[in-house]
């Protein structure tokens, strides 16, 4: 090729690259302008204008709480107690014969509230807000393994790597507070099965990932500046860093990770002023602290999480997820579930009552669930230390606030609680329904990645109309 030809070819390439870079830069600017609007509280995707819910508090009972020992009583199990367990009308193999038995619940049930909701008797405080709850007994998942079931409940994909529910919601609606992350997680000291991928951003830009607040020590590591560094000095350092990053960004247009890192530095700086005050519960009245069980045992730890969740949604955090662990009761379920209910009952009831009193319940959707339910048998355990195996075909989930059908029980399981038989719906349908309560349409809340438009439900789901108020 002649020098002139090479020069012409290079010129065309430079023009294409320059034009492409300009378009990408303009698109990036538009995207971040949209983010700024979202941070101010504007809806990015107003699919439905009649949605009540604006925030979500997601109560994740990791390990799989037993629907049969919490909210779905089965008198037939009492009648079949210690009879040999039969699946699908066939007796189990000889190796398992004499090892698996139907077991009754160790807890008594009663009907509570004007709605007559079924509830184990040790849910003493939650019974007082029963008419705010919408119980759903028809949900099913695909996996019996904790990590994959956790991923499916949290992210819609049991193999991990996809955005969390909170990430999708923040992507669709944005944040209402520029000084706080839109998606905050309150985990246990040890992370749940599957780790931080349960609240990751997946293929969405990293600014949508969940921010965990630690249960012990400093809530966010290294949030406070080093001793002797003033806010003015920090501001100057960040301004210098921003100029250097901006030059680098101009050389790498469209790099969303770099843009997210730059925005993260600024958010962290703003959080230094807001987060310590937000985490300080000393300004709450004694009555409110008692309502959540703060300062009492065994409710203090989860009570603090619930109270902090209310404070976070008050400040405009879009999605708050709380974890309660150790619900995986393969044996000693009376003791294990009994202790966990005692630790979470008062805090959860206090949260719902407090949201209602402050006028926040209508705009805040509260979700209670695990990753799957439990079986009606003893899970191949012998003796009297009864427990239950994992069950993906039946579970109980309840909702409160946010436009759900309060005071209702939707769906049903069979007489032994092994399978959902009425209003049976896959977890993808539950996700689509939660989005609908927030005014989002799953089929339109998409993100282009790996050659196709992706969505929370993976390949579409159906709204569970019975859950809508």
Distance CA 418, CA 373 (A): 9
In this prediction, residues 426-438 reach a mean pLDDT of 98
Which residue range(s) make up the domain with 378?
54-78+107-467
Distance CA 313, CA 402 (A): 13
pLDDT at site 409: 98
pTM: 0.83
Which segments within 274-343 are labelled E, that is strand?
319-324
CA distances from 193 to 61, 146, 149, 153, 344 (A): 12, 6, 9, 12, 20
pLDDT at site 377: 93
* In a domain? residue 13: no
pLDDT at site 142: 97
The helix (H) or strand (E) run that includes residue 133 is: strand 133-136
Residue closest to 67 by CA, chosen among 115, 100, 109, 99? 109
20 or 146, higher pLDDT? 146
Summarize pLDDT for 60-96 with one digit per residue, the tens.
Answer: 999 999 999 999 999 999 999 989 887 654 444 434 4
Q: Is 267 helix (H, G, I), strand (E, B) or coil?
A: helix
pLDDT higher than 90, residue 393: yes
pLDDT higher than 70, residue 344: yes
* In a domain? residue 336: yes
Distance CA 303, CA 281 (A): 11
pLDDT higher than 50, residue 14: no
pLDDT higher than 80, residue 115: yes
pLDDT at site 16: 35
In this prediction, residues 208-237 reach a mean pLDDT of 73
Least confident of 36-45, 339-348, 398-407: 36-45
For the chain, the maximum distance between any two Cα atoms, rounded to a whole number of angstroms, is: 93
Q: How many domains does the chain have?
A: 1
Least confident of 20-24, 112-116, 331-335, 386-390: 20-24
* In a domain? residue 327: yes
HSE-CB for 321 with a 13 A CA cutoff:
32
Q: What is the DSSP track for 170-194?
A: HHHH--S-TTS-SEEEE--SSPPTT
**Cβ neighbours, 10 Å, residue 445:** 23
pLDDT at site 218: 64
Distance CA 249, CA 240 (A): 14
- The answer to whether 195 touches 150, Cβ cutoff 8 Å, is no
179 or 466, higher pLDDT? 466
pLDDT higher than 50, residue 226: yes
Distance CA 143, CA 141 (A): 6
pLDDT at site 41: 35
pLDDT at site 175: 85
The helix (H) or strand (E) run that includes residue 398 is: strand 397-400
pLDDT at site 103: 93
In this prediction, residues 459-468 reach a mean pLDDT of 96
Q: Using alpha carbons only, how large is the chain's radius of gyration in Å?
A: 25
pLDDT higher than 90, residue 210: yes
Q: What is the side-by-side strand order in the sheet with 55-61?
A: 211-212, 183-186, 319-324, 55-61, 364-369, 397-400, 133-136, 408-410
In this prediction, residues 130-143 reach a mean pLDDT of 98
Summarize pLDDT for 180-203 with one digit per residue, the tens.
Answer: 899 999 999 999 999 999 999 999
* In a domain? residue 28: no
Distance CA 192, CA 148 (A): 12
pLDDT at site 49: 85
pLDDT at site 214: 78
Distance CA 289, CA 295 (A): 7
Average pLDDT, the chain: 85
* In a domain? residue 138: yes
The helix (H) or strand (E) run that includes residue 166 is: helix 165-173
Q: For position 398, which CATH number holds?
A: 3.40.720
Strands 183-186 and 319-324: parallel
Distance CA 201, CA 256 (A): 13
Distance CA 211, CA 321 (A): 10
* In a domain? residue 101: no
Q: How would residue 247 be classed by pLDDT, with cut points 50, 70 and 90?
A: confident
Residue closest to 263 by CA, chosen among 314, 313, 208? 208
The helix (H) or strand (E) run that includes residue 134 is: strand 133-136
pLDDT higher than 70, residue 40: no
pLDDT at site 442: 96
With tokens 């989002």, the residue in question is 440
In this prediction, residues 152-168 reach a mean pLDDT of 96
Q: How would residue 348 be classed by pLDDT, with cut points 50, 70 and 90?
A: very high
* In a domain? residue 380: yes
pLDDT higher than 70, residue 384: no
Would you say how long the chain is, in residues?
Answer: 469
Structure tokens at 42: 């504007």
Q: How would residue 323 be classed by pLDDT, with cut points 50, 70 and 90?
A: very high
Distance CA 466, CA 422 (A): 12
Summarize pLDDT for 20-37 with one digit per residue, the tens.
Answer: 333 333 233 333 334 433
Distance CA 360, CA 352 (A): 9
251 or 434, higher pLDDT? 434
- pLDDT above 70: percentage of residues in the chain: 80
* In a domain? residue 287: yes
- Among the residues of 40-143, which ranges form H helices? 75-79
Q: What's 92's DSSP letter?
A: P
């Amino acid at each position: 090729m002649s020098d002139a030809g090479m020069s012409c070819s290079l010129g065309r390439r430079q023009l294409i690259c320059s034009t492409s870079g300009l378009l990408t830069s303009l698109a990036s600017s538009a995207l971040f302008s949209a983010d700024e609007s979202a941070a101010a509280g504007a809806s990015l995707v107003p699919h439905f204008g009649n949605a009540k819910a604006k925030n979500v508090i997601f109560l994740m009972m990791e390990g799989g709480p037993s629907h049969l020992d919490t909210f779905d009583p089965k008198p037939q199990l009492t009648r079949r107690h210690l009879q040999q367990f039969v699946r699908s009308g066939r007796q189990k193999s000889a190796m398992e014969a004499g090892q698996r038995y139907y077991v009754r619940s160790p807890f008594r049930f009663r009907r509570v509230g004007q709605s007559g909701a079924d509830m184990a008797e040790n849910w003493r405080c939650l019974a007082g807000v029963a008419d705010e709850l919408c119980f759903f007994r028809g949900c099913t998942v695909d996996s019996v393994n904790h990590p994959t079931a956790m991923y499916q409940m949290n992210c819609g994909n049991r193999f991990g790597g996809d955005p969390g529910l909170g990430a999708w919601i923040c992507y669709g609606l944005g944040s209402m507070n520029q000084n706080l992350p839109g998606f905050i997680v309150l985990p246990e000291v040890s992370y749940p099965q599957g780790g931080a991928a349960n609240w990751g951003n997946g293929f969405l830009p990293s600014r949508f990932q969940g921010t965990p607040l630690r249960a012990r020590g400093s809530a966010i590591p290294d949030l406070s500046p080093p001793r002797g560094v003033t806010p003015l000095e920090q501001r100057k350092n960040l301004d210098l860093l921003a100029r250097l990053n901006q030059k680098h960004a101009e050389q790498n247009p469209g790099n969303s990770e770099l843009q997210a890192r730059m925005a993260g530095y600024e958010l962290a700086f703003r959080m230094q002023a807001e987060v310590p005050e937000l985490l300080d519960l000393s300004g709450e009245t004694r009555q409110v602290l008692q309502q959540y069980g703060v300062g009492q045992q065994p409710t203090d730890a989860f009570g603090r999480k619930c109270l902090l969740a209310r404070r976070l949604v008050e400040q405009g955090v879009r999605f708050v997820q709380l974890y309660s662990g150790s619900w995986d009761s393969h044996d000693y379920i009376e003791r294990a579930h009994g202790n966990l209910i005692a630790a979470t009952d008062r805090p959860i009831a206090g949260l719902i009552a407090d949201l209602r009193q402050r006028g926040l319940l209508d705009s805040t959707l509260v979700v209670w669930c695990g990753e799957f339910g439990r079986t009606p048998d003893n899970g191949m355990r012998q003796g009297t230390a009864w427990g239950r195996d994992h069950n993906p075909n039946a579970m109980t989930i309840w909702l409160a606030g946010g436009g759900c059908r309060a005071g209702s029980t939707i769906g049903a399981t069979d007489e032994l609680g092994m399978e959902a038989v009425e209003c049976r719906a896959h977890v993808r349908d539950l996700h689509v329904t939660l989005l609908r309560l927030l005014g989002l349409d799953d089929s339109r809340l998409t993100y282009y990645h790996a050659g196709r438009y992706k969505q929370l439900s993976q390949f579409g789901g159906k709204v569970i109309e019975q859950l809508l108020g």
